[in-house]
């Protein structure tokens, strides 16, 4: 009779012991005993704003712009010869929001005896991101211009200012519009304008 009672207790306790051993072997149960087996996905991360990351230290920016006295890339005035105008710039952010760069200009027209103008200068700028899409990036610089026309050459130095408001279309791509000012430092004229810029950064 005693043996039968011992066997009955053993049959009752064995399934409970097996379940406890299984739970002890499962690390997920041990770390979080009340955790559900179903995994819930967290909320989707917010999309990065188009201007996020712009003007960070170590960043390169390539731009192409118009100028106060010349067009953008290519144009042909009515009744005149075609004109090719390129003004790319390359800037590097030495610290957050502060940039140093170089600007290059090339203009050519076959009008009359032909006109070719080449300019090269350095500049510094400061960027301010206003919101997710809008920013302000003024730059100032100095440089020189080599002008060849009518069988003659002329070299001048200049001071330039460009203060565009930028609109970041998507990350790494922006357009801008703002006032510009250029003045010859050797007694020449002054040029005012509103210019357009297209740029990308990495």
Quick one: which of 167, 172, 92, 86 has its CA closest to 125?
92
- Could you give the CA distance from residue 124 to residue 160 in angstroms, rounded to a whole number? 11
Structure tokens at 167: 């609109």
**How do the domains of the chain map onto residue ranges?**
60-201
Please report, rounded to a whole number, the percentage of residues in the chain having pLDDT higher than 90: 44
Average pLDDT over residues 47-55: 81
Q: What is the pLDDT of residue 82?
A: 75
- Could you give the CA distance from residue 168 to residue 128 in angstroms, rounded to a whole number? 13
- Could you give the CA distance from residue 72 to residue 197 in angstroms, rounded to a whole number? 9
Q: How far is CA 145 from CA 86, 120, 190, in A?
A: 14, 7, 14
Second CATH level (architecture) for the domain 60-201: Beta Barrel (2.40)
- Could you give the CA distance from residue 177 to residue 162 in angstroms, rounded to a whole number? 9
Give the best-scoring range by mean pLDDT among 50-54, 72-76, 98-102.
98-102
Q: Is the pTM of this model over 0.95?
A: no
Using DSSP's 3-state secondary structure scheme, residue 138 falls into coil
Per-residue pLDDT for 48 more than 80? no
Q: What is the pLDDT of residue 45?
A: 45
Long-range contacts of 100-106 (CB under 8 A, 24+ apart): 100/124, 100/125, 101/61, 101/125, 101/139, 101/141, 103/141, 103/143, 103/160, 105/67, 105/145
Q: What is the pLDDT of residue 52?
A: 84
181 compared with 49, residue with greater pLDDT: 181
Q: What is the pLDDT of residue 55?
A: 95
Per-residue pLDDT tens digits for 132-187: 999 999 999 999 989 887 777 888 999 999 999 999 999 999 999 999 999 989 87
12 compared with 135, residue with greater pLDDT: 135
- Could you give the CA distance from residue 177 to residue 166 in angstroms, rounded to a whole number? 7
């Amino acid at each position: 009779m005693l043996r039968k009672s011992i066997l009955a207790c053993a049959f009752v306790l064995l399934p409970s012991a097996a379940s406890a051993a299984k739970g002890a072997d499962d690390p997920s149960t041990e770390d979080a005993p009340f955790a559900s087996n179903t995994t819930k996905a967290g909320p989707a991360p917010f999309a990065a704003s188009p201007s996020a990351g712009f003007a960070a230290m170590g960043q390169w920016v390539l731009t192409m712009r118009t100028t106060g006295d010349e067009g953008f890339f290519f144009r042909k005035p009515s009744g005149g010869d075609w004109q090719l105008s390129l003004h790319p710039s390359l800037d590097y952010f030495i610290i957050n929001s502060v940039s140093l760069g170089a600007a290059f200009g090339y203009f050519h027209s076959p009008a009359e005896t032909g006109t070719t103008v080449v300019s090269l200068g350095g500049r510094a700028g400061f960027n301010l991101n206003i919101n997710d899409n809008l920013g302000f990036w003024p730059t100032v610089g100095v440089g020189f211009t080599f002008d060849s026309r009518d069988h003659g050459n002329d070299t001048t130095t200049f001071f330039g200012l460009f203060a565009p408001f930028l609109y970041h279309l998507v990350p790494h791509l922006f357009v801008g519009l703002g006032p510009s000012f250029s003045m010859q430092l050797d007694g020449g004229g002054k040029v005012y304008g509103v210019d357009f810029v297209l740029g990308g950064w990495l």
